[in-house]
Chain A
């Protein structure tokens, strides 16, 4: 099968390293990416005509970003690269794609999903107000467009990205009103042994925190978010939280960057029939793969944050490793030394992932405490109370059933930003574990398609 049709979805760190490894083995993969340019979200490139250098754009990760972009430039002429193309559905052996408003199909013998992740969100009263952005979105505004999401920005949530983006805003000259972290200090101390798996990265994190303190940015740990303040017409005017000491703290701002680490984009894998498993450490459903990236479906592979949330460095290793897994399955020779190197690096990063999950836990108790009036589905303005009533009045103790009754998960974002918190609300109302209420099934189209989409013959 020297002519195996191999399709990679996603041109971030995992997809690019995967393509590079396959190309070196004599294959010419098709690399499909929804973005205009390579790099994924983490190493997203600024538009043509922008002049900031790598150090300004990517900070401590500048060398890695440059290396990935350079690698991609080297291979793009030798692979079949298809940017600005959305894979919106798949059937065994065939992808349904749309690009520039035109639908087409792409056949595959092997599929490697490097679909990445999005921010993981926990609702808070008022989070639907204009001026509340996802934490990753706040970072994209700065990195890709050189703008701040507001004149005065509160960073709220938990996870390493909270400190990274806040310090990037500070460095770029934006006003950071406060950094409000739901994780208490004790959790971090407890996670130190695991985080020491990557001492360099741990040190980088501590440096970021030190920069914020040095700039006298108010940093509060162990807070409980209460409300994003403001009104429907003009948007955000502040946030209200309870501090670890139990006091009420109001912070004035016109923008909030909100996020609790990441959730994987698993819709395509789900549509392909790949098994998912509940990951206790991060309390969410992840793709079930072997250590090299084979899913439960023959011919379908996965790497990067779309598979396991281990970050960009791990995604590069996982991209190479998944390519080697495929080569092995195609009975092609693989460089065993190189493969073992990737495996060893990933084992260390898995330790670190567990440390992060422990240090910055997903605040499931917040969902239980969410007032009935708080909006869970910001697309269609469906409240926690409405969702709870589907449990108490209609007996919907499973996520997809509750979705059918309440429409939570059915709006524009298709559950990306409400479904995990929604599951927590349902589980708390039903008095069962979040694992028991299941997960929202992937549905095609995985993103909204225009009615104007044209079909073209292949």
Chain B
């Protein structure tokens, strides 16, 4: 399985290049970060509380499951932020992890 999400239409849009964890990826203009990442991968981040991978849940900015980060530490909700040329995304929180169930 290459990606989790499957594009069904609107595939004629111009491409946008960005980086995810240091690797270049190509997305389409108007993609949310979530769609850019999940059409080519199966998860967005690692759960802080167990071994589980996470891929978002509500897509409407309510659950906060889809946080990704920029190098400067800015937190972005992947479901409600669109891709931008040259964006450099981290899927691991740049701060210390705080396991409560470790």
Annotate A254-271 by CB proximity to B: 1 below 8 A, 0 otherwise: 110000000001000000
Asked if residues B55 and A130 are in contact (CB atoms below 8 Å), the reply is: yes
Whether B64 pairs with A147 at a CB distance below 8 angstroms is no
How distant is the Cα of A133 from the Cα of B65 in the complex, in angstroms? 11
Residues of chain B contacted by A186 (CB below 8 angstroms): none
Tell me the smallest distance from the CB of B65 to a CB of chain A, in Å.
7
Residues 37-60 (chain B) with a chain A CB within 8 angstroms: 39, 42-43, 47, 49-60
A70 at the interface (CB under 8 A from B): no
Kindly list chain A residues whose C-beta atoms are within 8 Å of the C-beta of B82.
Answer: 47
With A48-B30, A145-B32, A146-B10 already in contact, the answer to whether A417 and B58 are too (CB < 8 A) is yes
- Determine if A119 and B58 form an interchain contact, defined as CB atoms under 8 angstroms apart: yes
Size of chain A's interface in residues, with CB distance under 8 A?
A: 58
- Residues A130 and B30 in contact in the complex (CB < 8 Å), given A137-B56, A254-B4: no
Q: Given known contacts A128-B52, A235-B53, is B47 in contact with A381 (CB within 8 Å)?
A: yes
Asked if B18 CB lies within 8 Å of chain A CBs, one says no
Contact of B43 among A50, A119, A235, A378 (CB under 8 A): A235
B61 within 8 A of A: yes
Cα of A416 to Cα of B62 in the assembled complex, Å: 7
Interface string of A137-161 (1 = CB under 8 A from B): 1101110111111110000000000
Q: By the criterion CB–CB under 8 Å, are A145 and B35 in contact?
A: yes
Q: Is A134 an interface residue (CB 8 A)?
A: yes
| Overall SS of chain B's interface | loop
Contact of A141 among B5, B42, B65 (CB under 8 A): B5
Interface assignment of B17: CB less than 8 Å from any CB of chain A: no
Complex Cα distance A174/B43, Å?
Answer: 20
B5 with A149: CB separation less than 8 A: yes
Segment with Cβ contacts to B, from A215-223, A287-295, A444-452:
A444-452
**Residues A150 and B4 in contact, CB atoms below 8 Å apart:** yes
Q: Which of the residues A46, A173, A381, A450 comes within 8 Å of B74, measured between beta carbons?
A: A450
Partner of A140, one of B6, B14, B59: B59
CA distance A138 to B101 in the complex (A): 30
The distance in angstroms between the C-alpha atoms of A413 and B9, with both chains bound, is: 31
Beyond A49-B30, A133-B58, A447-B64, whether A148 also contacts B8 by CB under 8 A is yes
Among A173, A233, A381, the residue within 8 A (CB) of B53 is A233
Could you tell me the distance between the alpha carbons of A47 and B82 in the complex, rounded to whole angstroms? 9
Question: Is A49 a contact partner of B29 (Cβ separation < 8 A)?
Answer: yes
| Max chain B Cβ within 10 angstroms of own Cβ: one of A51, A235, A448 | A235
B58–A137 CB distance below 8 A:
yes
In the complex, per-residue mask of B1-13: 1 if CB is within 8 Å of any chain A CB, else 0:
1001111111111
Contact partner of B60 (CB less than 8 A), chosen from A51, A137, A149, is A137
With A49-B13, A413-B64, A447-B64 known as contacts, the answer to whether A147 contacts B8 (CB < 8 A) is yes
CB distance B4 to A131 under 8 Å?
yes
A52 touches B9 (CB 8 A): yes
Does B84 sit within 8 A of A, measured CB to CB?
A: no
How many angstroms between the C-alpha atoms of A154 and B67 in the bound complex?
A: 25
Contact between A151 and B75 (Cβ–Cβ < 8 Å)? no
Q: What are the residues of chain B within 8 A of A450 when measuring CB–CB?
A: 74-75
Residues of B within 8 A of A118 (CB): 58, 60, 62
Indicate which residue in B8, B67, B101 contacts A172 across the interface (CB closer than 8 Å). Answer: B8
Interface centre among A51, A146, A413, A417 (most CB of B within 10 A): A146
Partner of A412, one of B59, B64, B100: B64
- Nearest chain A residue, comparing its CB with the CB of B6: A148
A146 x B57 contact (CB < 8 A):
no
Rounded to whole angstroms, the CA-CA distance of A50 and B9 in the bound complex is 9
Which residues of chain A have C-beta atoms less than 8 A from B6's C-beta?
147-148, 150-151, 174
Contacting B63 at CB < 8 Å: which of A41, A407, A417? Answer: A417
In the complex, A376→B52 CA distance in Å?
15
Enumerate B70-88 residues with CB–CB distance to A below 8 Å: 73-75, 79-80, 82
Question: Are B29 and A151 within 8 A (Cβ)?
Answer: no
Give residues of chain A (226-244) contacting chain B, Cβ–Cβ below 8 Å: 232-235
- Fill in one digit per residue for A306-322: 1 if any B CB lies within 8 Å of its CB, else 0: 00000000000000000
**A-B CB contact pairs (8 Å), 15 listed:** A35-B80, A47-B30, A48-B30, A133-B59, A141-B5, A150-B4, A150-B6, A173-B8, A235-B55, A254-B1, A378-B65, A379-B49, A381-B47, A381-B49, A413-B58
* 13 additional A-B residue pairs with CB within 8 Å, beyond A34-B61, A150-B5, A233-B53: A56-B9, A134-B58, A136-B59, A145-B30, A146-B9, A147-B7, A172-B9, A173-B8, A234-B42, A413-B65, A416-B58, A417-B57, A450-B74
User: Which 3 A-B pairs have CB atoms at the shortest separation, nearest pair first?
Assistant: A137-B59, A412-B64, A47-B30
